[in-house]
């Protein structure tokens, strides 16, 4: 089965991000395919490289990054949602004359067209979050 996951929840605001991560890990472990991860709304905060949770808490952004790297997953962050919330790649940081970027390696900024294309190419699209 080929899945696209839409993650709407921020890493520590509710359980959406953790549940999506657990689902992705289980799906991959059981031989399924993740066609695309699409981070939207507050879910874009999973793509920051600046999160620094306490040592006794699970580092969800780092876990997403490890999963993406380990399985070479396509991880798309909605550019409009990201810009509104201050998540930038190097190109957007330069365009908006910001001092630096803060998107983690493995994630890319793109538009909703990527979600539409993934929906057409996947067997199932699952949404995690409010």
pLDDT 10s digits, 83-124: 999 999 999 999 999 999 999 999 999 999 999 999 999 999
> Tokens 């390696």 identify what position?
105
User: Which of 8, 21, 78, 103 is an active site residue?
Assistant: 78
Determine whether 78 is an active site residue: yes
Q: If we measure between CA atoms, which residue out of 58, 49, 59, 48 comes closest to residue 81? A: 48
The pLDDT tens digits of the residues spanning 38-85 come to 999 999 999 999 998 889 988 999 999 999 999 999 999 999 999 999
């Amino acid at each position: 089965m080929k899945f696209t996951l839409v993650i709407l929840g921020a890493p520590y605001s509710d359980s959406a991000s953790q549940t999506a991560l657990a689902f992705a890990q289980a799906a991959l472990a059981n031989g399924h395919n993740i066609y695309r991860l699409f981070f939207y709304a507050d879910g874009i905060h999973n793509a920051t490289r600046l999160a620094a949770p306490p040592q006794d808490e699970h580092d969800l952004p780092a876990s997403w990054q490890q999963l993406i790297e380990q399985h070479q997953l396509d991880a798309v962050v909605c550019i409009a949602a990201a810009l509104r919330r201050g998540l930038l790649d190097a190109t957007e940081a330069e365009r908006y004359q910001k001092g630096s970027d803060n998107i983690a390696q493995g994630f890319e900024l793109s538009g909703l067209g990527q979600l539409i294309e993934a929906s057409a190419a996947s067997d199932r699209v699952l949404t995690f979050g409010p």
